[in-house]
Structures are given as structure tokens and as C-alpha cells.
Structure 1
Amino acid sequence: MTAPSLEFKQVHIALHGRTLLELDARLAPGEVLTVMGPSGSGKSTLLAYAAGFLAPAFQASGQILLGGQEITALPAERRGIGLLFQDPLLFPHLSVAGNLRFGLPRATPDKAAKVEAALADIGLAGFGQRDPATLSGGQQARVALMRLLLSAPKAVLLDEPFSKLDMALRHEMRQLVFDQLHAAGLPSLLVTHDRDDADAAGGQVIELGPVGRERSRNARPG
């Protein structure tokens, strides 16, 4: 099965009549689009629009296509998009293995074996029965990433996923996350304040100014 592309066609988002951003971009499978800008520039608003939970106060137009299918009007749960946030958001009432099983589609055969393989893939073999609260911040971030990947999304949204990690872990987690997304062929939208995140992601970088107008760096034609 061919991995999908993610496309933003003539996307325009405004608030109270003021344009926050305008975007035309196409992401190939495994490519990351990084959107940077100060608070209030519209980058998190773009993420919310792509995910399907944009607040009613915003006015948005344009199309989002995933694998050639328009998903703009679909509810969030039907878009096939996974999200990775600043916090791991692991379920405290589930074990590490339970958190990973939660990510697997319901009809997945031999879930236990897949969970064990996933833990080994992120260097946490044997951690399945651990309480998530006993893991370090970096270990929790790894579990959150793998839970996302096990859910088999068609595209991924990254909301400053490295911002709460200490400096020693950021480089390691950037490499792990972007390597995994590239290997899975997942087009991804990264929202960040950190220039090092953008450099690690590669691909297109769009910088939003205070009024939300975009300025592309290292952009490639779509």
C-alpha cells in the first residue's frame, strides 16, 4: 500500500476578520512541514484546523487532502491523523503495555506480541508491566510515540513534542521521532518555537510573522 501525501490547498484562517495565515503546501510521504512563529501567529491554529478541532471563533477556508481524499469536513476521529503533544498523556490507570495496546486497532491479531516488539523497538523491552509514572520523561515520550505509531495513522501532527524534555534528551528524541516517521512514510506537520526542531525535521519550513503572514525557508514546490 502506497503511503499517502498530505496537501493544504489555499488554506486561509482568520480571526475577527484578521488573517492569521494562508498556506499552500504538499507533503510527500515521510516529509515534515515545520511551522514556526511567535505566540498568536497562527501556527497552533493551523494544527487545530488540520486535526479537526478548530474553535468556532475562527473563520477557515481551503482544503486538506490526505492521500488525495479531502478530509476538511470530516470529524477529527475519521481523519486518520495522529497527534503527538508536549506532554506524553499516558493513561495513568494502564500499564505501559496497556497504553500501547490502547493504540492498536481493535481487530489487530496477537496484540501481546506486537506490544512486546514495539517496546523492543524503542529500547524498553521488559517494561510492559511498569506503571507509566515510574518511567523517566524520555521513556514516557518513547511510549507516547510508539502508541501513536501503533494506531496506524495516515499523517501526524506534532505540537512542540520536545519542548518539555531536558536538553540531553531532545537530540535523542528528535532523531527517534523523525526516523520513525520517515520509516513509516507518514507526512507530518510540526509546530514549534525551536529552530533546532526545524533543522532536525528537514523539509519545508514556514515562518509566521506577528500577523500570521507566511515566509518560507527551504521550501520545495508542491
Structure 2
Amino acid sequence: MALAFAVATACYHPTLRDCAVECSAPTDCSGDQICRDGWCTGEGTDACQVPSTSADSGAGDAAVDGPLPDSDPGLCPLGCTNGTCDANGVCVIDCSATGSCAEADVRCPPNVPCRVICGDGACAKKIICGLATSCDVDCVGTGSCRDEIQCGTIPCDVTCSGASSCAKRVKCGMSCSCDVRCTGINACAEIAECPMGTSCALGRGCSSVVPGCETCAP
């Protein structure tokens, strides 16, 4: 099994897009990208024009949150073998390129916060949050996230802003906190499985704001 995992990991190379991963030093970026103005980008490209993620942004915008208070940013480089660690110690698995990450399940590494970004037609298989400390999934592309998103028991935040994104259900019935926003046209063809059944449901998604729907340990 260990050999199979090693082979699968060796064959799994998410495509990194410019201006998708935050950085504070050149070592935060992978491949031939450089750290410019706080973002990983290819050398010779224009400055990143990144949309605001402040509180007054629209509901469909994907905010980049920092790690949980009990997360150690130093752990990220040890486990984030299929992504890039941002300045906050979050393992960012960047599948924003069209059709990327389509051949195998996308799996978050254990013991670190995880963020998955899926562009047009990307993330065709399951997204498995597993034993990450938190899991943010941004299905921003048309037809992205076509299979289940499995949150497990951790805090889970899923944004389905791409048209026809999140075709299969988001499974977060066991999560201590789950927010699923279905803002894209025809997004969330299957209604999400929320904690406490329909008590934490909001539209076709879920909300942790509902009383009793946030049970994560402080």
C-alpha cells in the first residue's frame, strides 16, 4: 500500500496558476514562480490584480483565511507534498488551470489547514479533506468539483460559485462546522449533507451560523 501511495503521489502534479498562492518569501513558491508583492507568479508577468477578500466582498468571493489558532505553520512544508504552503501555513492545492486535477482524487494532507482551488472543468474526482485541521474548497470554475467533497469531522468551508459546480453532494454531516454556499448558476445539483441533518441546512448548502451548528472545540 505504501508503494502504491508513493506512486500515486509521484504522478500527482497540480498545475499552479499565477496570483493564486500568497507568499512572504521565494521559498513559498514552487517551480519557476517568484514571490512578488505577496503572491506567487511567473517571472516576467504583470503585477497580480487580486480581488478584495474583505468583509464587504460578495458572497461568491472566496476569502483566504489564516490557519486555526492551534495550527503550527511550520508543519505545512512537512506534509504539503501535493500543493504549496502559503504565508499562513495553509496547504494550497491549486487546481485552477482548466481541466486540472481530473485524473485522481484530491487529498488534503493531515495535520495542516488545507485549501483547494478548482477552475473550469477541474477536480473531476472526489475532494477528500481527511485529517487536515480545516478544509476550504473553492469550486470557482464552470463544471468544477464534479464528484463528492468529503469533509470528515473538521471545520469545512465550501464555495460553489462556478456555473454547474459541485454536481455531487458535499458530505459534511460529521463536521463540527460546515458552511456550503451554492452561488453559481445550477450549482449544487445534489443538496449538501449538513451537520444535524436539515437543522443546519441553508438553501442547497449548509450554515454554521445556525444555533447549535458549530461544535468545534475552542
User: TM-score if structure 1 supplies the norm length?
Assistant: 0.31
Higher strand residue share: 1
Larger relative CO (CA 8 A, sep 6+): 1 or 2?
1
User: TM-score if structure 2 supplies the norm length?
Assistant: 0.31
